[in-house]
Each structure stands twice: as C-alpha cells, then as structure tokens.
Structure 1
Amino acid sequence: MPKSKRDKKVSLTKTNKKGLVLKQRIIEDVKKCVEDYNRIFLISVQNTRNTKLLELRTEWNDSRLFFGKLRIIALGLGKTRETEVADGIHKLANAIKNHSMKGQCGLLFTNRSKKEVIEWAEKYEEMEYARSGFVTPETIELPEGPLPQFQHSMEPQLRQLGMPTSLQKGIITLIKPFRVCQKNDVLTPEQAQILKLLDKPLAVFKLLLLGIYTKKHGFKKLKVPDNATKNDGEEMDVDNNDNT
C-alpha cells in the first residue's frame, strides 16, 4: 500500500520548543483540512480587520479559514512535488508565497460548491473606517460653523488633531472651512482619527478569490475583478466551465 503523502515529516529549524509545538500543530491542522475538505480557495483580503475575520469564521463555521502564519501553512501543504501532501498542491503553496508579498492572504477550506463561494465573495463587502496609509477615494470638506454632533469636552481633542475649532456658547464650532482629506491623499493618523470621529468610513473590507485547489483538478488561478486594487492580486484567467 503506497505511503500517504500526509505522513511526510516537515523540518522546522531555529524554533524554540513552545514555537515548535505551535507550528507543528498548524502543519497538522493544514494536512487534516486537505483531507477533510473538497476545495481550498486562496483569498486576498482588502482592508483587513480582525473583527471582520472573526465574523467570517462564524458565518463559515462549516469550513476553515487560515490567516497569518503563511510560511508555516505553505510548509504544511508542501512547496515541492517531493514534499506536497496532495497531488499538485505545491502550486497552491507557492501561490501563497507569491501573493503574501503583495498583501494579506489566506486559505478557505470548504465543502461548499465553487459557484456558491464565488457568488458569496463577489457580493460580500462592508464599509470600514480607514487607517493611516489608506489612499482616500474622495475629498471630504467641512463648512465653517457648529459641529453639534460632538460634546463640548471634545474640543481640545479636535483642535489637537488639526481642526480649527473653538467653543461658542458651549458648542464646538469650526471657525473656518476645513478640508479633512483630498482625493488620493495618503491618510495621516490624524486624518484617519478625524474621519472616524465624523463617522465616515471610506475603506471597503472585501475578499478576493485568487485561486482554487481540488484533488481532481489541481490548482487553478481565478480572475480578480476589474475594480480590485492592483496590489491585491494580478488579473488571472479562470475556466468558467469548471464545476469543481
């Protein structure tokens, strides 16, 4: 009887005992998921938020999501034909390495159909508050006048963030027009904080499917939507007649 590919040992060097146990557990989890699930999707995440990832894990509790520890996950899959734990899966392991250099990515192990996963990913997006370093999609300006949405005690904080404010009859007031951000600006921490205080989410938390692996068809690249950012994955071809 041929030896199972899952039984292959993975060498982890320069790792302390505690870290070694964690990494070995991740590797074993990955190997088990390869056996238990029919499909593995390579996913890129735009505007990552831990709370959103937790919500996704709850929504997909019949599946497994792996984010982070990508080097260990790739080791668990096997990065060469000689070390792979399933036929052709080393191509997925190498795709993880390539795309992790462009942004955060992860794996979705699932038994749901390819069509269901693709349709879900195309529809799923949620607005989030932008962080510093985010490139703004629009210009946001505030006119001179009162800002009644803020309590008077917040006036020093707003002024410290760069807003030209003063207290007038107990109401925070802009003493002149203020531009929070210009379109295509790279947000500073102060701008990001102002936008959050103004309750103006500009970032979109979204998942992009970069590829799919099945034991029958191996690893296939998927086409990233045209409206995806350049750094979240190159456009790739997909066989739309593949019903894996």
Structure 2
Amino acid sequence: MPKSRRAQRVALTKTAKKTRDHKTNYIEMVREAIDANDRLYLFSYENMRSNHFKDVRLHFRGSSSDKNSMSDENDSSSGTDGRIFLGKNKLLQIALGRGPEDEYSDNLHKLSKILSGLLGFCVPIRVPLM
C-alpha cells in the first residue's frame, strides 16, 4: 500500500477546555488594567512571533533583561503597570462592553465594535504628572 494511504496517528491531547471561571477571570483582569491606567491604544499586528514583538511584550511585562530593550535607562518604572491584550476578541469585546448600555467605561463600546481580526490593545504605563 502506498505510504500516503496508511493510517495516520492522531494525537489525543490532554488539554482541558477553558472554563467559564477562567473566562470571567480574564475579563476581570482586562477591566482591572483599564481601571489602573489612563490610556488605551488599539493596534493591529502581523507576524507576532517576531523578535521585535517579543521585545515589546517583555517591555510591558517588565521582565526584560536585555540591555537593548525598549526601556529607557533613565526611566525608573519597571514596566509592570502596562499590559498587552491579544487573542480572544469576543472576550475582549465583553470586557469593554458591546453596546452603550453594558460598556465598562465611557465610549469603550466604540472600541469593541472595531475589535476583530488581528487587533489587540495596549494599556500602557501611567505617565506621571509633572
């Protein structure tokens, strides 16, 4: 029998589905990040496995050990207040609010309507007042 006609092995993974509690915790995490920071930026991306995107994620996570990272040497903040949210657009839409009646904060439902495809949003570090 030809090689292509042989029975293929199917990997049966042991991964568990995301529960409702996990999704609720994710929504709460998004809302806490919105409350803790003043700004919210919507961005599009492609090729998110690139090293540049990794540097940006590490900068916002605050665990960058690279000397050539995006952090400023005179900057005293570690970057732990910023977050980048990607992935499940439906969960992000629910966290922001899908309409004016269920939006989490003022005018967030407008961002929720735009959020589809390869879009994410960034909640940056709070800028100190001078």
TM-score by length of 2: 0.63
| Residue 69 of structure 2: aligned partner | none
| Residue 83 of structure 1: aligned partner | 102
* Structure 1 residues without counterparts, runs of 5 or longer: 1-15, 114-244
**Are residues 67 and 17 of structure 1, via their aligned partners in 2, closer, same or farther at CA, if it must alter by over 3 Å?**
closer
**Are residues 24 and 51 of structure 1, via their aligned partners in 2, closer, same or farther at CA, if it must alter by over 3 Å?**
farther
- Deviation string 1:16-35 (CA, Å, 9 cap, x unpaired) is 98421221111001111110
**Are residues 84 and 18 of structure 1, via their aligned partners in 2, closer, same or farther at CA, if it must alter by over 3 Å?**
same
| Residue 7 of structure 2: aligned partner | none
Q: For residues 183-198 of structure 1, what are the structure 2 equivalents within 5 Å?
A: none
| Residue 149 of structure 1: aligned partner | none
Q: Which whole-Å CA distance do the structure 1 matches of 2:48 and 2:102 have between them?
A: 31
Q: Which whole-Å CA distance do the structure 2 matches of 1:88 and 1:67 have between them?
A: 20
Q: Given the alignment of the two structures, is residue 96 of structure 1 paired with residue 115 of structure 2, yes or no?
A: yes
| Residue 43 of structure 2: aligned partner | 43
- Once the two structures are TM-superposed, the CA of residue 49 in structure 1 deviates from its matched residue by 1.1
Q: For residues 57-206 of structure 1, what are the structure 2 equivalents within 5 Å?
A: 57-60=57-60, 61=62, 62=79, 63-97=82-116, 100=117, 104-111=118-125
**Are residues 108 and 46 of structure 1, via their aligned partners in 2, closer, same or farther at CA, if it must alter by over 3 Å?**
same
Q: Which whole-Å CA distance do the structure 2 matches of 1:94 and 1:30 have between them?
A: 17
- Deviation string 1:100-150 (CA, Å, 9 cap, x unpaired) is 2xxx1111001356xxxxxxxxxxxxxxxxxxxxxxxxxxxxxxxxxxxxx
**Are residues 18 and 47 of structure 1, via their aligned partners in 2, closer, same or farther at CA, if it must alter by over 3 Å?**
closer
Give SS of 1:39's match.
coil
Seq. identity, %: 28
Q: Which whole-Å CA distance do the structure 2 matches of 1:109 and 1:91 have between them?
A: 16
Q: Which whole-Å CA distance do the structure 2 matches of 1:53 and 1:70 have between them?
A: 19
Q: What is the identity, as a one-letter code, of the residue corresponding to 2:109? A: H
RMSD (Å), alpha carbons: 2.2
Q: Which whole-Å CA distance do the structure 1 matches of 2:43 and 2:101 have between them?
A: 25
**Are residues 17 and 24 of structure 1, via their aligned partners in 2, closer, same or farther at CA, if it must alter by over 3 Å?**
farther
Give SS of 2:85's match.
strand
**Are residues 37 and 81 of structure 1, via their aligned partners in 2, closer, same or farther at CA, if it must alter by over 3 Å?**
same
Number of equivalences: 93
Identify, as 1 or 2, the structure richer in strand. Answer: 1
